[in-house]
Amino acid sequence: MGAHVIVYLDQNYLSNMAKARLGSIEDKNLAEFWSSLFDELKTAVLTDKIACPASEFHTTEAMFDKRLEESIRQVIDELSWGLEFHQREDILETQISGAALTFLGKNGGIKETWATAFESDPCAPAHSRMQNIFGVKGRISVHLSLPDEVVEHDRQLKNRYMKGEELFAKLGNVCSNWDDEVLAQKMSFIDSFFLGGQARQSIEKQQDLMRLWGKLDQIGIKYPDHATAAKFLKSEELLNSPYIDICSSINAAIATHHPNRKCKGSDLHDVAILATVLPYCDVVTTDSFMKEIIVKILNFDDKYKVKVFSARKNDRPAFQKFIHEL
pLDDT in tens, 59-104: 888 887 778 889 999 999 999 999 999 999 999 999 999 999 999 9
Q: Check: CB of residue 321 under 8 Å from CB of residue 315.
A: no
Backbone angles phi, psi at 125, to 5 degrees: -55, 145
Give one word for 283, left, alpha or beta, with left for phi > 0 and alpha for psi -120 to 50. Answer: beta
Average pLDDT over residues 24-50: 96
Specify the pLDDT at position 49: 96
Out of 120-134, 196-210, 228-242, least confident range:
196-210
Name the percent of the chain lying above pLDDT 70.
78
Q: How confident is the model at residue 270 (pLDDT cuts 50, 70, 90)?
A: very high
d(CA 78, CA 73): 9
Instruction: Name the nearest CA neighbour of 261 among 287, 242, 223.
Output: 287
User: Nearest-CA neighbor of 79 among 13, 145, 1?
Assistant: 13
Q: Which residues are CB-neighbours of 9 under 8 A, at least 6 positions away?
A: 41, 52, 79, 285
Residue 320 has pLDDT above 90, yes or no: yes
Residue (of 279, 298, 291) closest to 316 by Cα position: 291
- Region 319-323: mean pLDDT is 97
User: Which tops the pLDDT comparison, 234 or 157?
Assistant: 234
Q: What is the CA radius of gyration of the chain?
A: 20
pLDDT of residue 129: 79
Question: Residue 152: is its pLDDT beyond 90?
Answer: no
Asked if 296 and 310 count as a contact pair (C-beta separation under 8 A), the reply is no
Identify the residue with better confidence: 6 or 132.
6
Output the pLDDT for position 111. 57
Residues with Cβ within 8 Å of residue 154, at least 6 apart in sequence: 60, 64
